[in-house]
Amino acid sequence: MDDLMGGFDDIDAVVDTVPVDPTRADTSPAEPGMWEVGGMLSASASYNIQDHRSTTGTDYGGLSKLQLRGLLTIDGRLGADWRSHVDISAWQDLAYAYREADYTQDVIDAYEKELEILDGWVGGPVSASTDVKIGRQVAVWGFADNLRVLDILNPLDNLEPGLADIEDLRRPVGMLRVDQYAGPWRLSAYATPEHRFSRNPPFGSDFYSLVDSEGNAARFRNVRPDNFEDIDLAASAIGRFSGWDLSLHAARFWVDEPYLDASAFDRSDTGATEEDFQQAAVLRHSRSNLFGFGVQLTQGGWLLKQEAAVIDDLQLTRTTPLEQPLPLLNALPIVGALIPDTDGQALPEDARPVRRYDALLGVEYFGLADTTFSLELAARHIDDFGPDLARSGYLEWASESAARVTREFMNQRLRLNLIGVVFNADGQFWRRSGGGIYRLDATYELARGVQVAGGVLLYDGGRQQPFNVAEDNDRLFGEVRWQF
């Protein structure tokens, strides 16, 4: 899911090679105490093309979203050099009052309404070459636009897979960030005491993909670390040179994707039921290390990208066969990316640490006026892979392919996007065994600050989550937005 939602149109990608960091606080003279207020109001809707039900039986045909949303942004100057920024978001989805479907309480809590502080930080220079920023913020790692290898510092908002705008994908987290500038280099250190994880479709959603081998929704408690428990620590060094950029990364962090720990379940209890198993098993998060690097090179109208990372101490669930089948347990909960083919009866048990290698290659062409083409390929390999992990649905080799074409018309008032992301279960690029997502959308500027947008989103069913349940979730969508 994280790879799918890694960003369809990353506005934070850096393509210039001027050795000036665009994220550094603006230290130009300004009046102390200056405040600016802006924001956005929008109305958006989604319509499911096909009648279908979620894995809990909820009817999701027809209108699935009718949302009113507001975003308030407050920017302030604290003295001559320091700045503050706050984003407050609120929405109300009227579709849940209009439709008479039997939604779960989890779906109502996640989708019907929300009031949330997104970004909220204070930052500025503490010396001529050192900046500090503290509070909820987004810190983008890597150069890729569509797939994630290095970009691990912020979780994602996956409540509407494929529909969220890029500015809504990454969830800000509370962190202390220190940037040191030395020539073409920016050295950054991060301490993140707030532990937020990706917000995924809840139990009852038509995108909820944690199911057993019979396709029924499975549900487990998610045990998450408390804030200030084992603070995430990270560091990076980014150098911007003439025609190319280099970045180095290291982190000690809580992994966003959980694993299933069923070690508390009594496998010898012949009277154990499916409910007993789901009460004993819990989802946990790995405490892992990442080391990686990224390179991008500009040549004429071409931009070439490369990223690579190794993740140590990644906990993955072991699934082992039962010598004596338990008659009241009729299905294997799926904890990984696939629905495994298993002879007899097998159950997730405990977890073991592994090492995973991730690599990405990308190319972008912007040599044509008002047109951009991009292609990214990523591969992931689990070291010391065995049948115990394969039974859980993990893949020894997995790959993703993402292609995008963007074209602007009418003096950049009309923008068209065609995006495709393909996942596969055998490590071969361009095969769709894992599933895929395809999106065609258009945005038109009616007037200054007023935009209308719409498009179609198609899902290709496959063995990888969430495509194991999303094949019939194709939809039309539209939005009217006013920015002020």
Integer Cα distance of 139 and 146 in angstroms: 16
Beta bridge partners of 53: 59
User: Distance between alpha carbon 108 and the CA centroid of its chain, in Å?
Assistant: 22
In whole angstroms, how large is the CA radius of gyration of the chain?
23
Q: Mind listing the pLDDT tens digit for each residue in 284-338?
A: 999 999 999 999 999 999 999 999 999 999 999 998 888 777 877 765 665 554 4
Q: DSSP assignment, residue 272?
A: -
Average pLDDT rounded to a whole number, residues 223-245: 96
- Work out the number of other CB atoms within 10 angstroms of the CB of residue 415: 19
Say whether pLDDT at 38 is over 80.
yes
Percent of the chain with pLDDT over 70: 88
- 269 within 8 A of 325, measured Cβ to Cβ: no
Integer Cα distance of 463 and 466 in angstroms: 8
Integer Cα distance of 160 and 207 in angstroms: 8
What residues contact residue 275 under an 8 Å CB cut-off, 6+ apart?
none
Q: Mind listing the pLDDT tens digit for each residue in 80-135?
A: 899 999 999 999 999 998 888 889 999 999 999 999 999 999 999 999 999 999 99
Average pLDDT rounded to a whole number, residues 215-225: 88
Q: What is the predicted pLDDT for the residue at 59?
A: 92
Alpha carbon separation from 214 to 57, 228, 396, 423 (Å, rounded): 14, 40, 24, 23
Q: What is the predicted pLDDT for the residue at 330?
A: 61
Q: Mind listing the pLDDT tens digit for each residue in 374-392?
A: 999 999 999 999 999 988 8
Q: What is the predicted pLDDT for the residue at 171?
A: 94
Amino acid found at 153 = L
Say whether pLDDT at 425 is over 80.
no
Integer Cα distance of 421 and 436 in angstroms: 6
Helix then strand then coil, % of the chain, to nearest 5? 5, 50, 45
Q: Per DSSP, which regions of 113-243 are E strands?
A: 113-127, 130-137, 173-182, 185-192, 221-222, 232-241
Report pTM.
0.87
Integer Cα distance of 162 and 192 in angstroms: 28
Integer Cα distance of 356 and 344 in angstroms: 29
Side-by-side strand order, sheet with 221-222: 221-222, 282-284, 259-261
Average pLDDT rounded to a whole number, residues 53-61: 91
Q: What is the predicted pLDDT for the residue at 165?
A: 57
- 156 within 8 A of 171, measured Cβ to Cβ: yes
Percent of the chain with pLDDT over 90: 68
Integer Cα distance of 418 and 405 in angstroms: 5
Lowest mean pLDDT among 247-261, 427-441, 445-459: 427-441
Say whether pLDDT at 226 is over 80.
yes
Integer Cα distance of 385 and 318 in angstroms: 11
Integer Cα distance of 459 and 461 in angstroms: 6
Q: What is the predicted pLDDT for the residue at 152?
A: 95
Integer Cα distance of 294 and 233 in angstroms: 19
Q: What is the predicted pLDDT for the residue at 278?
A: 86
Q: Mind listing the pLDDT tens digit for each residue in 329-367?
A: 765 665 554 444 455 678 888 999 999 999 999 999 999
**Residue-averaged pLDDT of the chain:** 88
Integer Cα distance of 122 and 136 in angstroms: 9
Say whether pLDDT at 28 is over 70.
no
- 423 within 8 A of 462, measured Cβ to Cβ: yes
Q: What is the predicted pLDDT for the residue at 230?
A: 95
Integer Cα distance of 189 and 173 in angstroms: 15
Q: Mind listing the pLDDT tens digit for each residue in 155-175?
A: 999 888 887 655 568 999 999
Q: What is the predicted pLDDT for the residue at 332?
A: 61
